[in-house]
Structure 1
Amino acid sequence: MIVRTFDECKNSERRVVSDNWESVRMLLKDDNMGFSFHITTIYQGTDTHIHYQNHLESVYCMSGEGEIEVVNGKTYPIKPGTLYILDKHDEHFLRAYEGADMVMACVFNPPITGAEVHDENGVYPLVD
């Protein structure tokens, strides 16, 4: 059994900070569960280009509001209770509106190792 708290993960190397977001990676590849689980905060007023070419992701909004714009597609509002699933490696822009950060629960398959950050194309590398 694995038991961890958000606070202990946040105060460890499992917390990764970028210009537009921070992610507390609570479950990682080396936990051998077949997926990773993160609590990610998207900073208010930011616009982040993301394109997970190597991973599938499900994201549940716990707080804050914003939108996801699929490249060459539609824009969807995000608010608490919204789940979006990037089941086709969808290239997108994630925006958090002014007023409050968006806090999201995220699941990645395959799992990430924990040190990944987006490259210049919004991609996480696939790490063996």
Structure 2
Amino acid sequence: MIVRHLKDAEKTDRKIVSEGWDSTRLLLKNDGMGFSFHITTIYRDAELHLHYQNHLETVYCISGYGSVETVADGKVYQIAPGTVYNLNLNDKHILRADEEMKMACVFNPPLHGKEVHNAEGAYELDAEEVSD
């Protein structure tokens, strides 16, 4: 059984901080679960242009408000606590935070741990692993 506490993980290299967001990776590839699980904070007024070409992602909003726009068709979906969105087609999208948003995120295939977005707004498949 794997048991981790968010407050503890936030004090380790499992917490990645980047422009507009931070992400604490609670489950990673080396945990052997077949997916990774993160608690991510999107900072107020952030606008993130993302395109996870190598991963599928499910995002559940725990707190905060914002929107996600699918670039292909320009549709904008409001995000509020209790909203889930699924990037099942490797959708190119824009995530906007009207206020700070706390999100629970699942990635398949799982992340290694040190990933940040590349120029395309994607995560690379073979990133550096976090130490345990």
**Using the alignment, how far apart are the partners of 2:72 and 2:59 within structure 1?**
20
- TM-score, normalized by length of structure 1? 0.96
TM normalised by structure 2 equals 0.94
Determine the structure 2 residue equivalent to 1:5: 5
Aligned-CA RMSD value = 0.8
Q: What is the deviation of 1:72?
A: 2.3
Cα displacement (A) at 1:7: 0.7
Instruction: Tell me whether 1:29 sits opposite 2:34 in the alignment.
Output: no
Residue ranges of structure 1 left out of the alignment (5+ in a row): none
Structure 1's consecutive aligned runs of 4 or more residues displaced over 3 angstroms after TM superposition are none
Deviation at 1:127, TM superposition (A): 1.3
Code of the residue aligned with 1:81 in structure 2: it is G
**Take 1:82 and 1:31, find their aligned partners in 2: how far apart are those partners?**
27
SS of residue paired to 1:60: strand
Task: Note the residue ranges of structure 2 that are not aligned, 5 or more in a row.
Answer: 128-132
Deviations 1:76-104 (A, max 9, x none): 0000000000000000000000xx31000
Show the counterpart of 1:115.
Answer: 114
Trace 1:6-85 onto structure 2 (pairs within 5 A).
6-73=6-73, 74-85=75-86
